[in-house]
Chains A and B, each alone.
Chain A
Amino acid sequence: MELAMFNVSHGFTESVVRGLRSGFLGPEDYRRLGSCDTLEDMRSALEETDYGTFLQDEPSPLLVSTISKKCYEKLADEFRYLKAQTVEPLSTFMDFIAREKMIDNVCMIIQGALNNKAPKELEEKVHPLGVFEGMKVIMSESFDVQGGFDDVYRIFLVDTPIGPYFEEYLREADRDKDDMARSGIETSQVGGILTKQDLEIMKTSLKKAWLEDFYGFVQSQGGTTAEVMGHVLKMEADFRVLLVTMNALNTSLSTESSLQDRNALYPNFGYLYPEGTKELRKVFNDTTVRAALEPYSKYLQLFDQVKDFYDSESGGRGAGFQSIEDLIYAENVHMYEMAFEQQYHFGLFYAWVKLREQEIRNIRWIANMVVLDKKDHIDDTIVPIFQPRM
């Protein structure tokens, strides 16, 4: 079935993405970028790649943040172009991809609203991939901060695709806080909950909800999509568990009282789920993390490579050490590259977006190193995409 019907609806978009694949920077491009002395050099070096003249209109002096912002905009442009070509169910799939960024944007807007930030300023900070309709309303001048929570609530909860995650989260949070509000959330309470909640935790749990939802969606698609994306998302869920665990080490989140907060952030699927996650729920320091990861040789290996960085006693938490993120990026890139190896599935689109994000991170890193004149650090951090295999 799949073989026969896939190309009818999605053949064109798939081929576009496969075409875009060749737009990734090659080793030659990285070398050229790495040998730049200023950001101006980088601008001209990037002009020779698929990024083209996207920085042309930027005034000098160029800033690192401008470069990465423009890169994201370009990615968003291409993403929107692709999305316009899609039909169901691929459009929904694309929506899911964008939702992760929507969560970021929403959190950012809430944060800004709490601090009475001007909507204009907020507008500049939004991630171009996560722009959605209702956002423009909040950005409009009439957005009144004092009574604003109701607006925020209405817009996010009702009008956006990420509304359900929000609702789930708020209900969860509310249940934690007091048992009385079982009946659901009154609009007026939302403001109170939002101010009380740690936004960072909120964001992470929203993302967890998103990941779970996404997983459910790809499973419902069946076929190769479910197979490839299932694997990808399971890995991501595992990595998320790892990341949360590792990053919570040595912070207040690893104390007895807030373990529950942390554990709420673990996604309810993945290869680690349920046994591994169950073990990890109990960990509170690096030794226990290691013990919990014992049965999973792959993750254990990752952990061992970076455990110096998280060791509270060594005190050697310098910038030179690799963190878990670095390794996971490398793992992810490998995983996403593999997604290109199969045909007739949606994982390709997800992988493409993720790889582009990694590439932008690479560019940003190179730009930073060029500015800081630490170019010898370029090669040991970036993860080149689609390296020619030996």
Chain B
Amino acid sequence: MVKSKFLTQTDMKIGLIGDEDTVTGMLLAGVGHVDGQGKKNFLVVDSKVHIKDIEDHFHELTGRKDISMILITQDCAEMIRRAVDEYEHSGKTIPTVLEIPSKDTPYDPRKDGVMQRVAFFLPSAMAALGIES
């Protein structure tokens, strides 16, 4: 594991990948950032966006130093599951990837890598989230 020393860092942005409504809401709250080159910290995913684009954007976000966390709606995460998992196993913790439920599809904790781990240690976790297994 890479032994990372976390230093205090301010002004870190929140990356965002999701459907239009989720992104709208988050931007309304004020997480949006567009820099001078028009580079955005968010991506609206609709039917016209290619999986490749999502993946590229995801990699770009994970590579940025000023991003503390990446929110990704679960259906988007599903689309680029491989990339997400890869990142998770890379041992990098910053930025951290958070899977959030999207509006259109109900949240399924079983697909969330983090929740899988949590459930591994806390068997009652899944039940608490409304999944019987």
Contact = CB atoms under 8 A, between A and B. Distances in A.
The short answer to whether A and B are in direct contact, CB under 8 Å, is yes
B103 A372 contact: yes
Interface-centre pick from B19, B20, B103, B104 (highest chain A CB count, 10 A): B104
Interface in B40-61: 46-47
A59 B47 contact: yes
Interface in A41-77: 59, 61, 63-65
B21 to A, nearest CB: 8
Contacts of B103: 371-372
Given A115-B34, A116-B38, A65 B20 contact: yes
Contacts of A116: 38
A63 B34 contact: no
Given A59-B47, A65-B20, A371 B104 contact: yes
A116 B34 CA distance: 12
A115 B47 contact: no
A63 B38 contact: no
Contacts of B20: 65
A65 B103 CA distance: 12
Nearest to A66: B47
Contacts of A63: 19, 46-47, 104
Question: What's the interface size class on A, roughly?
Answer: under 10
Contacts of B19: 63
Interface residues of B, number: 9
Nearest to A373: B106
Nearest to B38: A116
A181 B19 CA distance: 45
A61 B38 contact: no
Interface in A98-152: 115-116
Contacts of A372: 103
Nearest to B46: A63
Interface string A213-239: 000000000000000000000000000
Contacts of A115: 34, 38
Interface in B3-24: 19-21
A65 B104 CA distance: 11
B27 to A, nearest CB: 13
Contacts of B38: 115-116
Contacts of B46: 63
A65 B21 CA distance: 9
A282 B46 CA distance: 45
A48 B20 CA distance: 29
B43 to A, nearest CB: 13
A64 B102 CA distance: 13
Contacts of A65: 20-21
A381 B88 CA distance: 43
Nearest to B48: A124
B34 A61 contact: no
A302 B103 CA distance: 33
A210 to B, nearest CB: 26
Contacts of B47: 59, 63
A63 B44 CA distance: 14
Nearest to A38: B104
A116 B39 CA distance: 11
Contacts of A64: 21, 104
Interface string B97-111: 000000110000000
A63 B74 CA distance: 16
Nearest to B103: A371
A369 to B, nearest CB: 11
Interface in A364-383: 371-372
B25 to A, nearest CB: 12
Nearest to B106: A373
B29 to A, nearest CB: 15
Contacts of A59: 47
Nearest to B47: A59
A53 B38 CA distance: 40
A61 B103 CA distance: 13
A41 B47 CA distance: 20
Shortest 4 CB-CB contacts between residues of A and residues of B: A116-B38, A371-B104, A371-B103, A65-B20
Interface of B: 19-21, 34, 38, 46-47, 103-104
Given A61-B104, A64-B104, A116-B38, 13 more contacts: A59-B47, A63-B19, A63-B46, A63-B47, A63-B104, A64-B21, A65-B20, A65-B21, A115-B34, A115-B38, A371-B103, A371-B104, A372-B103
11 contacts: A63-B19, A63-B46, A63-B47, A63-B104, A64-B21, A64-B104, A65-B20, A65-B21, A115-B38, A116-B38, A371-B103
